[in-house]
Amino acid sequence: MNVQIRQGNAADLPAVHDLVGELADYVDALPHFTATTEDYRADFAEGFFHIIVAEDMATKKVIGMCLYNFVYSTWKGRMIYLEDFVLQPDYRRQGIGQRLWEVLKERGRERGCKLLKWQVVDTNTEAMKFYTAQEADIEDNWYNGKLEL
């Protein structure tokens, strides 16, 4: 299978939006997924986030992605934050997710980041297995806070 990993662009945003919708459905959170493709377009154009995509070269279809941004950790300094990491089920267990992960880490290193952080819902056991295999620290002593504006 010929899959290209590349930096995403504005033309990829509808496919990225669809992948995020698949993830929201998978974790039973679809009603909370309210961002539109137009929101994605506007925010991407302003540089609010970045994407790395996996494209099946035979079909020219985006089949996976990492959506990330750069933030600052007062404890560590520059940080890359992974918002979503999705790979369609038919493409899993073929090394594509690992390739996306490696490119994501490289993007952080290129910008001088000291830390890669993300969240994973505890019901997403497949993601937990992947992150554990990456020798990631899965914290259980910090609580997430949020406030809708």
- Among residues 66, 89, 48, 57, the alpha carbon closest in space to that of 8 is found at 66
Residue 131 annotated in active site? yes
Bridge-based pairing state of the strands 77-87 and 115-118: parallel
The full length of the chain comes to: 149
Residue 66's Cβ-side half-sphere holds a number of Cα atoms within 13 Å equal to 26
Q: Which two tokens stand for residue 22?
A: 């698949």
Decide: helix, strand or coil at residue 35.
coil
Per the residue annotation, which of 40, 81, 131, 143 is the catalytic one? 131
Residues catalogued as catalytic: 131
